[in-house]
A and B are shown apart, each in its own frame.
Chain A
């Protein structure tokens, strides 16, 4: 098998952003790391389907996303409320009580539908082009664009409402912000 050192180096190089993507998908570091590990194993086993010269990182992101999707579907059946569990995992993260703004943002991010969140993260943080993101998500470029737009709009709404403070934070958010801080 092609145990090309440049291949393994490229894989390792992709790990930090794979982790960041995975965490944004599942909101939980341990699960995310397991997902990354599974991704690397899957990728390694399927190296022959990787076309040299193409974007290794995009290829790995695609595998990770597909793994997450299948796992997510499974969990969804078990847990029933997919979105709620994201908020729950955020709540369980310690040492962030002073970082209210982060909390706000992450809570808002976690509230996005997963297809919007992944599109936003791929384009807005991982540095993929719309075309690459479309490839990773297996959808049209226009779909990615509209998901990113909707994600931004929704986040803006969630965060503006927070700063305007005209509407109280909803229960879930309150639980996260208040519950984490103790008092």
Chain B
């Protein structure tokens, strides 16, 4: 642990891993690499979904909510009971 080239990380990232001396050593060199890998993988995994954009169902949902709000400007928002069914129904009364 007195490795001065310790990466930015938390104090003693290897502290919990005393299972084997060999891996301990490997890990010291792997950690930095792995940290980068983790960051990258996390980003890729995340962006893969982000890049799918906004699925239609959500655009439709928001448009419908907007429609309801406009129809009923004074009224309260949707009640909670409306929730369960609201998204599922494919009736799409949007035709105006």
The 8 A CB mask of B58-73 against A (1 = contact, 0 = none) is 1101100110011011
> How many whole Å from A162's CB to the nearest CB in chain B?
10
Q: Are A152's CB and B30's CB within 8 A? A: no
Instruction: Determine the main DSSP class of A at the interface with B.
Output: helix
What is the interface of chain A, defined by CB distance below 8 A to chain B? 1, 3, 5, 8, 11-12, 15-17, 19-20, 23-24, 33-34, 36-38, 40-42, 44-47, 101-102, 105-106, 109, 120-121, 124-126, 146, 149-150, 152-153, 155-157, 159-161, 163-164, 166-167
> How many whole Å from A43's CB to the nearest CB in chain B?
10
Q: Given that A152-B9, A160-B30 are known contacts, is A12 also in contact with B41, CB under 8 Å in the complex?
A: no
Q: Given that A8-B62, A41-B87, A152-B38 are known contacts, is A15 also in contact with B54, CB under 8 Å in the complex?
A: yes
Q: Given that A102-B45, A125-B42, A153-B10 are known contacts, is A45 also in contact with B78, CB under 8 Å in the complex?
A: yes
Of the residues A1, A24, A41, contact of B46 by C-beta under 8 Å: A24
Query: How many angstroms between the C-alpha atoms of A150 and B10 in the bound complex?
Result: 8
Of the residues A20, A42, A45, A149, contact of B10 by C-beta under 8 Å: A149
Q: Which residues does chain A contribute within 8 Å of B9, judged by CB atoms?
A: 149, 152-153
> How many whole Å from B84's CB to the nearest CB in chain A?
9
Of the residues A16, A146, A166, A167, contact of B49 by C-beta under 8 Å: A16
Q: Are A156's CB and B30's CB within 8 A? A: yes
Q: Which residues does chain A contribute within 8 Å of B62, judged by CB atoms?
A: 8, 11-12, 40
